[in-house]
Structure 1
Amino acid sequence: MFASHSKQEGHSRTSKVGVIITNLGSPSAPTPKALKRYLHEFLSDPRVVETPRWLWWMILNGVILNFRPRRSAKTYAKIWTKQGSPLSVNMASLTEKLSEELRTPFPSDHILVDYAMRYGSPSIENVVQDMQAQGVQRLIVLPLYPQYSASTTASTFDEFANVFKKLRWQPSLDFLPPYYDQPMYIKKIAESIRQYREQNGAGELLLYSYHGVPQRYLHNGDPYHCQCLKTSRLINEKLGLSTEEAKTVFQSRFGREPWLQPYLDVSLEELAKQGYKHIDVISPGFSIDCLETLEEIQMEARQTFVDAGGETLNYIPCLNDSPLQIELLSSLIKPSLKHHLDQVIYTSKKKLSSEEITQQEKHSPNQKTVTSNEVVPSSK
């Protein structure tokens, strides 16, 4: 007898195209226990912390995981909702809306759309396994990181590679590239800024705040810094802003070594001292609002600015699950989706019926035979 999955998927089962959007992840709860588990997975990634493993193991397990989880849990509690983590809630909503959008022009029975987290749940491994179980033989993956960094985009690819290493039958993998300078991305970010300012008024200055990384990552060849600057420049051009009306800063530094500059908190203090009273901040590098935007910018950065003499700091939300985001992501995915669906639909027309498969099995020289060392499964 042929292996059941080979018989079903190789001959008769309709193959599907899976679309997975990914993000960094979130702890399962705003508790020290959940944060310790999440931070251990996150900070153990050699793409995130490029320090000799033996040294970092001692620092992580001997110091950081004994103190940081409790402090981080209190921070997460500030933004936690009844539905859960804002990142997870928005990712689930975005996936549902994106699935509906992608199924509209294409045969819905050939498409599966889901999301996965690099750290935490749902894991990349579980989502890939679930899609394979439903007949997915072609995967399209879009990490929701507009700008490439080894600590985010490359780490996501690494995890897919780790998962694929365990699979006997690997689906094809279409790993979509960063979109930091794609016209539709620039257009949608610019539209979100324009819409926000029309409704709430414009500040004296617009700050583009990106997540920081250590400066040595840039010196070692990571293109992240350059891609962030290009994104800012293209948005300025779209909005007609000068370099005096909008500036780029970096946030979320950790540890003592120099990170990408200028720093957000230092810049806010300096701007307040220069007499700025009203500032707008947007984070083009984040697709979904999360701890770094909802707490670090909306709460912490705002307080830093006010304490230094400023009056208002308005945070412009990420695209989240808005129509702007749906239109952006669908424009990035649809070209690849069409290509793969064309192949799937063509091959599905060549499938054999179950009766034809049974007849071929009967005459196959590759029927499995039971050896003396094998246990025959009971038919009961």
Structure 2
Amino acid sequence: MRVKVMALTLSISMAAAQSAYAQDSDITSEPFMKAALTVMVFDYFAAKCKQGGGFAASDVGKVEAWETTNSVAQIRARLPEFDRHPTQKQQLELALSTITQQITNQYTNLNPCSVALSVSRMPDAQFAKVSPQLLSSVSKPPKTPKKAQQPPASKPGTVTSSSDSEIVKQIDSFGFNSRTAMGIGGFLTVKIYPIVLFRNGDALTNVEGLSFNGGIAAHKRAKPDEWTRWRRQGGKLELASKDGWEALPFSKTYPKLPENFKLNGLFRSLSGTGNVAVGGSQSIAAWEQYRFSSDGRVIRGNGAGGNAESGDVSVATSNVAPNQRGRYRIQGMMLYINYDDGSSERRILIADPKDPETAIWLDGVSYVRRKQ
């Protein structure tokens, strides 16, 4: 298998990792996303190899040595955790489909055993060398949320040592900042994201810190770079930086949501990546949406799609997950959803109490109101 074909794996792997919004520092980090996709590609062709009789005797030991040295079994065992990260899961599945189809279409008389062996020999498949920190994390069992502190969830656990009401009392309001990020096709776009403004003058630049295991004090100790100070000066909202006070692009802030607050409408989050912006031919898009009703019902859907070209080969793929239906309630700064299938999720909700029709933020990710 030629190196340029294997490079496609790494290219799409990097794209999927960059487009994912990190909800878990292990699972959705770039090293793990790349490792996960590499293992998935290997397993795909290894399964086809097994159907044809399996690896040659001289190659069995090489494959086993690669898996042992690079903790492949531990990485493989954690793949089901992507069920709690539907956007990243769909991006991985889309990338896997694109890669395997391109390799299969590009080579006649393809030997899946040779392809699987080539994947295991890739430099970036040597996780022990390129991502040693990854092996230290996958060797440990994933943290299990404490059942007494939250209901079973299809999303990452969000456990705190302090109750939501105690945290809400410490919050003055939510402000907004912006940053440049990669979008569909690899084009740069400006993302607006919320920050938490505390009454004591502290500012949290990553709202997911509110759900940190151990509480916000533990989060401040673990991730001090996500904390700073804030103030209002001359009608502007400012954050402290190493170069002094810097004004945010938005001066408006949102207070906590009122009691019995309801949402109504379709809200969608769209993300993506690719390399079209730099002359390439790969484009990936993923979406997630919630349709809320004022009577407390909610329908959740998500999907992904993309296309890629290599020479005369063009591949288009798509994946749409079945809708989930359930009921929701809003309490303080939290959105609780219990689905009819028995699953549930718990998200940090930020919205303008006076204008909830434009956009909302769930765990810091913006969902824009769409037409019905």
TM-score bracket relative to the smaller structure: under 0.3
The structure where strand makes up a greater share of residues is 2
The normalised TM-score by structure 2 is 0.24
The structure where helix makes up a greater share of residues is 1
| Larger gyration radius, structure 1 or structure 2 | 1
